[in-house]
Amino acid sequence: MKRILSGIQPTGSLNIGTYLGSVKNFVKLQDEMPDYEFFIFIADLHAITVPKDKQKLRKLIKELAALYIACGLDPERVNLFIQSEVPAHAQMSYLLQCNSYIGELERMTQYKDKSRKQETGVTVGLFTYPTLMAADILLYDAEYVPVGQDQKQHLELTRDIAQRVNNKYNDIFTVPKPLIAEVGAKIQSLKDPTKKMSKSDDNVKSRINLLDPENIIKKRIRSAVTDSLGTIKYDPEKREGISNLMTIYSIIAGVSFDEIEEKYEGKGYKEFKDDLGEIVYQELKPIQERYNELINSKELDEILDKGQERAFKVSQKKLYKFMHRIGLGRKR
Ligand code: AMP
Ligand code: TRP
């Protein structure tokens, strides 16, 4: 069966950027692509490439799992699992490191950005991060990998590594393709609309988290940076702030930019923002309700156990196949 796979790092509470750019897309895909098997995982091994507090990490892993389901991932359709609970990922990452080059890893822009920001020294794990990501993908022979724009370069590297290994070891991996959502592939920060909305931004006002209460959601929208023109017009080049808010509006309400412009013709930011606050709140309310049911439930553990079992089986098989091709261990 053909497969689709993606992961999210448990590095901070999910915000509407990740939700609209990534999670909502999975939910749509699970219904639109019935011929594919889905694997979605929490990339906790990726998270520890920079220092993490133990208690916080634990909490975020669980929170993310519950949120995925609360956002509409169907556990009957999707294998949801935690990366570190499936040992083949780390093992495969090592094997791929032996088939990648320092030069190509040094070119990764995410590595360059993140290593510059590190105050306490850059770990080897941060450097080899893309080989772990390649392992995640290649272990499952994923044909499509839904990601945001920022992960495109890592996916291209994964394709290069897969092709290289295929040439050397006789076609062992499926070469994956990125699936990048068209609208909302990028939601920008509410405080600096030239930057992406990020879980790790120091300014909490830059984002709306999926678990934020109603008053915070509405406050964040009201205080979002726009400009002094006061008209609701989509122009992502010159008017990033209002265009970003319109993108959020458009994806959630399922209306086009033209329709939004028409609706708010002659009206100001206040009215638009009040409506958008309500729209975002109404979208998040049922997610929060379902999350509260799930977070400490046996149901969630059962979903994760089932996901782990399936992921273990598929990944272990691929790992052994590759080890065998390389000539590792004994011949069986
Ligand atoms: P991360 O939060 O960096 O682990 O990203 C998880 C997934 O969500 C990746 O595919 C990202 O590209 C995507 N993503 C993260 N932040 C945003 C954002 N502000 N807008 C759109 N997609 C995002
Ligand atoms: N690196 C991705 C991110 O930061 C998360 C990730 C890890 C991932 N492994 C993956 C995404 C495999 C897709 C496929 O967003």
Q: Is residue 189 in some structural domain?
A: no
- Has residue 183 got a pLDDT over 60? no
Q: Quote the number of domains for the chain.
A: 2
Q: What is the pLDDT of residues 288-312, one digit of tens each?
A: 999 999 999 999 999 999 999 999 9
134 and 219, same domain (yes or no): no
316 and 254, same domain (yes or no): no
Q: CA nearest 60: which of 48, 78, 77, 73?
A: 48
User: Measured in angstroms, how far is the CA atom of residue 282 from the centroid of ligand 2?
Assistant: 29
Q: What is the pLDDT of residues 131-145, one digit of tens each?
A: 999 999 999 999 999
Q: What is the pLDDT of residues 237-293, one digit of tens each?
A: 999 999 999 999 999 999 999 999 999 999 999 999 999 999 999 999 999 999 999
- Tell if the pTM clears 0.75, that is, is over it: yes
- What is the distance between the terminal CA atoms of the chain, rounded to a whole angstrom? 26
pLDDT more than 90, % of the chain? 87
pLDDT (0 to 100) of residue 30: 94
User: Measured in angstroms, how far is the CA atom of residue 136 from the centroid of ligand 2?
Assistant: 8
Token output for 277: 């606050």
The active-site residue out of 199, 205, 263, 306 is: 199
Residues having CB within 6 Å of any atom of ligand 1: 8-9, 17-18, 21-22, 147-148, 150-151, 186-187, 196-197, 199
Burial class (CB in 10 A: 0-12, 13-18, 19+), 172: middle
Cβ neighbour number for residue 117 with a 10 Å cutoff: 9
User: Among 78-82, 145-149, 192-196, 269-273, where is mean pLDDT lowest?
Assistant: 145-149
User: Measured in angstroms, how far is the CA atom of residue 38 from the centroid of ligand 1?
Assistant: 19
Q: What is the CATH number of the domain that holds 35?
A: 3.40.50.620
- Has residue 53 got a pLDDT over 60? yes
Q: Averaged over 93-122, what is the pLDDT?
A: 94
Task: Place 182 in a pLDDT band, splitting at 50, 70 and 90.
Answer: low
Place of tokens 């901070």: 12
242 and 218, same domain (yes or no): yes
Q: What is the CA radius of gyration of the chain?
A: 21
**Who has greater pLDDT, 200 or 141?**
141
**Ligand with an atom nearest the CA of residue 198:** 1
**Ligand with an atom nearest the CA of residue 21:** 1
Task: Place 184 in a pLDDT band, splitting at 50, 70 and 90.
Answer: low
- Order of strands across the sheet that contains 177-179: 78-82, 36-42, 2-8, 142-146, 177-179
Q: What are phi and psi of 269, to 5 degrees?
A: -60, -35
Strand-pairing partners, residue 7, are 41
**Ligand with an atom nearest the CA of residue 180:** 1
Q: Any catalytic annotation for residue 273?
A: no
Per DSSP, the three-state class of 153 is helix
The active-site residue out of 24, 62, 196, 318 is: 196
Q: Classify residue 15 by its DSSP letter.
A: B
Mutate to test the pocket of ligand 2, among 133, 173, 177 (most ligand atoms within 8 A of CB): 133
User: Among 17-31, 58-72, 200-214, where is mean pLDDT lowest?
Assistant: 17-31
- Has residue 32 got a pLDDT over 90? yes
Q: Averaged over 121-131, what is the pLDDT?
A: 95
Q: Averaged over 105-119, what is the pLDDT?
A: 92
32 and 114, same domain (yes or no): yes
288 and 307, same domain (yes or no): no
Q: Averaged over 145-163, what is the pLDDT?
A: 93
Query: How many Cα atoms occupy the beta-carbon half-sphere of 142 within 13 Å?
Result: 28
Token output for 56: 């916080």
Pairwise CA distance, residues 37 & 93, whole Å: 23
- Has residue 54 got a pLDDT over 80? yes
Pairwise CA distance, residues 294 & 198, whole Å: 25
For the chain, the average pLDDT equals 95
Q: What is the CATH number of the domain that holds 232?
A: 1.10.240.10
Q: Averaged over 140-163, what is the pLDDT?
A: 94
User: Measured in angstroms, how far is the CA atom of residue 40 from the centroid of ligand 2?
Assistant: 10
Q: Any catalytic annotation for residue 56?
A: no
User: Measured in angstroms, how far is the CA atom of residue 330 from the centroid of ligand 1?
Assistant: 42
* Segments forming the whole domain that contains residue 125: 2-180+297-326
The enclosing H or E element of 97 equals helix 88-97
Residues having CB within 6 Å of any atom of ligand 2: 5-9, 43, 46, 133, 136-137, 145, 147, 151, 154
Q: Helix axis angle, 298-326 relative to 88-97, nearest 10°?
A: 30
Q: Is residue 185 in some structural domain?
A: no
Cβ neighbour number for residue 25 with a 10 Å cutoff: 22
